[in-house]
Structure 1
Amino acid sequence: MERRLRCFAVGAGAVAAAIGVVCLLAWLSGAMTYRGLSSLTIKTNASLCLILCGTALMQAVPADPSPLLRWTARCFAAICLVVGGLTVMEYLPGWELAIDQLLAVEPPGALGVVSPNRMGLPAAVSFTLGGIAILFLLHTPRPLVRQSQWIGIILCLIALLGLLGYIYGARAFHGVSSYTFVAWPTAIAIAFLGAGLLCARPKEGLMVSITSADAGGVAIRRLLAAAILVPIALGWLHLQGESHGFYGRISGTRFLVIAWIVIFSWLVHQTAKRLFRADEAKRSALTALQRTQALLLEAERLSHTGAWEWDLTSDIWTFSDEWQRLHGTRDRSLRPDELFSIAHPEDRPAIRSAFDALRRGASPYEMEHRIVRQDTGEVRTVKASGQYLRDRSGRVVKIYGFVQDITEQKRAEDELRKSEARLSTALDNLREGVVIATERGEVFYWNPSGWMMHGYANPEEGRRHLAEFEQIFQLSLADGRVLTLDEWPMLRIIRGEKVQNLELRLRRLDQEWERVVSYSGTILQTLGEERLVYLSICDMTEQRRAEEALQEREERLRIFIEHAPAALAMFDRQMRYVHVSRRWLTDYDLEGRNLRGICHYQVFPEIPDHWRQVHARALAGEILRADEDQFVRSDGSIQWVRWEVRPWQDASGRVAGILVFSEDITHRKHAEQERERLITELQQSNAELQQFAYVSSHDLQEPIRMVTSYVQLLQKRYQGKLDEKAEMYISFIVEAAHRMSCLINDLLALSRVGRREREFMPVETELVVKEALDNLRFAMEESGARITKDTLPMVMGDPVQLLQLFQNLLGNAIKYRKKEVTPEVHISAERKKNQWLFGIHDNGIGIEPQYHERIFVIFQRLHQREEYQGTGIGLAICQKIVENHGGRIWVESKPGLGSTFFFSLPINK
């Protein structure tokens, strides 16, 4: 019904709008311009208001119109309200707003008008009220439905007033000298607008009692139409009979009253009769319902199931006594939204989501969730379901559901599940295989160890009859005899024989492997009339292999100890000999004796207490040793011994005895003493050599300086007095003395590099290179050399030696340059694992490959002194510096393509 009434409301708005469109088009085309001179016509503003009001009504009918529709309907209703209101104001004395002929012009002299093309006062009031009613429908947040419906009733009465005038032909109803009354199309349209306003919200406001399904709603719907149509029809008949002279006014009035009484009495009787029948059916249904409810309540009590129901139209919430008992509440005033507080906090979101979907009619639900009883606070588990009912229009009008307490069931299921899980976990984690079969020989269970032990990829492969296993497996005794199927452990158990720790060899024929397994089994239980057989299978293969390996290992240990090159003995916790080496027997004069099982203290009864304490500490778990222990032999000679005593453990990790090792190191000790003597002599010799180098350098430098000084005095005093050959001889002497001085300095530097004068420290190679370049500034300016470098790291080293290293290599790079070519030198540094790799690359003359190693030998030169100055010691010094720092140096070069001298320095030295 609701859907049909809403459709009627949309249709009513459409009819009103259509009347307005037709009349407005007639005005705009000129067809209505002069019709008003002969009859009452609908005016242009009235036509416009019908269009706006009818369209706004159609847009306001949906319960939740879109924002665009809502906004458009409000605008149309407001325009209608303004036009109608302004027209009403024009009927006041002295008001003339000149809005009547804006759309079309009507000539003077039209019927029933004082102002051309002005709508009548009833129409103006109707459109004003209609605009207000539509705005009431669209009011937010809560529409004013009841007020809108009262306005709809007023509009229907105004329209009925005008239509009755036309039906009864009473001029006084539609024309007076000073007003333009409503035209019949306008009256029809207003009637549709009023009816549409009433039907727009059929389940709200005044329409609730009319559209309800109860007896009152049925009575109203049956009598309302008669209450409207019968008086109109009787009034028309009365007037027609009177006008035709069938009766007078008094008689006609009597007949009219009698007809009303008869017709309405008959209608009331028929309505009461129908209501009585409906009540009879309802009472019968109620009696059946009560019986059904009694049965339902008993079923609910027995099944611990509670029921609830929510009538959305009447907003009535009901629930059964069992529902209250389950939830521990006696409050019957609970609202549906308050019931969520009974649910467990963790389950509330899911319950609310399912409940909201049920209210929308999206989907029924069935779920398990927890509740918290209101009386005891106990958490219970329930199984809940919900359904919905729709009316004929498809709207959800009722939702209902059931709640069943399944706490005990869930507990039982959990316990069963836990028990099964514990049993399954226990069987799954057993190292032994487990097979369960029926008395008929059908295998239906394998644990993982069992089916993997038999070479199956999954337990399904092993679920078969015992007879089929004979084609796959072979069981045999230790002596190699193959068992028949009847002798297999499972069948022996089925026959009632006892099988306990039966060790057999299991061989799989299709995979060609063999295992040693031990079988034990029993009758597990009785399942109906059939017995189940439990068989435990223990894989002994690794154990047997371990036993064999242990025997082999003990034999190897015996052989190892016996043939050990040192004195070695193995004792148990009572210091009894287990194994002993031949060297032990030789060193302790025990050759030819069998010491196995004899106590060590019986063999050496006078052993010092010191050694007994050492043995006791080792048996307690300590490891004791001495790298050098001095003993005085009976003959007075000194013996040096290295020994160690340590515990050994058995398979369980417990100390089972000790191992005693001893070695005579007297000869090694004498050799070490001789080495120390030689080292001392060598150090003394080196010190003397260093002192000699210092003295020699001083003694050699002194005469060279004297020779150089006197020769330079001769050169200065006799300059120009000697012939050319004498001056050349003098220059040779000066140059030779200078070379001799440089050579002595280089030799002295070379001797210093070989000794460590200071501890290595962190050195910023950036600063070292800067200082070296400062020292070479004269050579760089003279040659115009360009020096570039990468970011250089910090290294551990001797800053003085590193300065000399970089200065020698950079000086060589500048010195050995090509003629007419500007020297270009680049210094690089790259980390290579645990060292820094430095490179000094130049664009000089290069070096032949066969000389790459020779250049680092002292006094080795590749060029004449006339070409390049030098002593041939610089690269030898560089090599000693790098080696002194734990690195190495080499060169990569080709003649004419320059050279790159690489050297490495450890990152941490």
Structure 2
Amino acid sequence: MSQSILLIEDSRAQLKAVSAILRSEDFQITSAASLREAVACLEYTSFDCILLDLSLPDSDGLDTLRSVRSKARSAPLIVLTSTDDPLQVAEALKEGAQDYLIKGRIDGELLKRSIRYGIDRARTQEMVRQSEEKFRLLVESARDYAIFMLDTEGNILTWSAGAERITGYSGEEILGKNLSIFYPQSAVDRGEPQHGLREAVLKGRYEDEGWRKRKDGTRYWVSFINTPLFDQEGNLRGYARIARDTTEKRIAEETLRQRIVLEQKMVLVDLLQAVTIAINLAPTVEDAVATLLKEVCTHTKWSVGCGNIVDTESKGECQVSKVWYFPEGFKISADDSVLRERLISGVGIAGKSWASGAPVWLDDIATDDSALCVWLSKHQGLKSGLAVPVYEGMRLFAIVEFFAAAGEKPDAPFLEVMANIGKQLTAIVERKRLEQMLAKEMQNLSRSNAELQEFAKIAAHDLQEPLKSVQGFVDLLKRRYSDQLGDDGKRFIAFIDDAVVRMEELIRGVLSHSKIRSQEKRFERTDLNEVIQKVKDNLSVSIEQTGAIIKCDDLPVIVADSLQMVQLFQNLIANAMKFREPETTPEIYISWRNQGGDYQFCVKDNGIGMDSRYLNKIFGMFSRLNAKTEYPGTGIGLAICKKIVEHHGGVIWAESQLGKGSEMCFLLPDESRR
């Protein structure tokens, strides 16, 4: 394609000579003999190059250059003149001339070379300009990206609309500032901004992400790339930085991560609950360990579990009882020597866990020195293994092992759950041992109680026989020798009669006391109003003799042993009538109230009362606070009351002050809580 040349020259000879040179190169030449003609040409036509003589009929010197340059700013302009003035040469070049040639000192090749260079350079500059314009438009339109330039020290040289939108800083506010203005102070203290620039120079580019701060102080998550820029000599002249605000993506990822973590924690919580419940229900220690292995493998990625329960430990070696869990369909093709491998300190993941006292994880069990691990890897396709020690106090109780096809390392929450499961297991093991000891003690206690009750029955029966003989001989003495005994003899005989009667009452009381717990529980719906009426009938003679006034609330119907309820209320009411001041009419009030679903009963009297220091002693066997000559009795009545109440799962207590009466209270639980 021919290139257009505007030749501004007023000399016809010079115009002819130059035209002859240029036509040989297929240049298309347009001539102008004056500035006015040149301006007219430039108004309607663009040229690839302009050759200008500074001395024209209507213009002279640099003014000619300025006038032409104002009309053709992008075309290369070559001064072709007779004036050889160094100052004018310098000024011409300063005003935008591409070259300055002296007529008569140039040849055709020099002129053509200068024109080609000017045209090529102008085209290159135009391409650069267009490229820069495209880049500028790209930068301005990229609102989701901050694209800007930095100098060698990290100071900001250019700014963009995207950068302003992301950071909140305008160009006037940020230009000249260091990029560390976007970093948190802790990151600045660690030297992160400069580190990113150094790494970019070393590696050709540097990518990273992190939290940054906006002008208003809020945080945003940014992903960025630093690219170093070099000049033609390879010297660093700055950096290009492209950053993107990915806060929403970061928040979404963090939310997802937290949800996954929460779900994992829920799985682990379910695991802990399931294991705790299951091993609590296990009848033996071996069953508890087997349940632990099954629940862990069911709830997690682990496929196979092995529990090494320590039987004996000596010199770095443990004799263990192994408990296995294999998933359904798992084919075992190993001999007993592998599945019953001993536990040696430092050998295998179980041995290493024992030696270190901490969990041990191995991502490739094929490299382990345990025959079991090698077999699981080679024949069962398992890859990773985990061993967790379980201690009972300071003693190694067991080591549980888990194996899986995946090589994912167990995280801290899982290990924490395993530690808690280990604690639960040892607690349950200890509890089961205590339960076994308690069961044995209860058997011994039950046997002792049975023997004691049997002894009480036999002793009471055997004691009654001599008493009958004593009573018989006393009656015989009174009938045959009554006239010969005298007053003292008769008084002694009366003492013997009284002692025999009291002894018989004591024996009956002991028998009644011993029978309460040994009797089969005959609990049934019992109307306590009917019980009180039965008691009044039984005590009718005493009530009539003392003139006792008995008031009673409308009592409830409860599930109880009706005969024992009669005995309980009868003993309490009889005591209330017995322990009174002489010539005082007994007043007895029986009340009740609902106490959180339980039944609280009280029998209150206006009797002699008692010192509060003795309230805890009155329910003991043969306990008496008064002389038997003043208030007869065996001292067993309240002990029987206490045993009846306890037989029903309740408690009994007394409230009293000396001389102000007493109140005997007892609490019977609802039948659903007995």
Larger RCO (CA within 8 A; separation ≥ 6):
2
Normalised TM-score (structure 2): 0.45
Tell me which structure has the larger Cα radius of gyration: 1
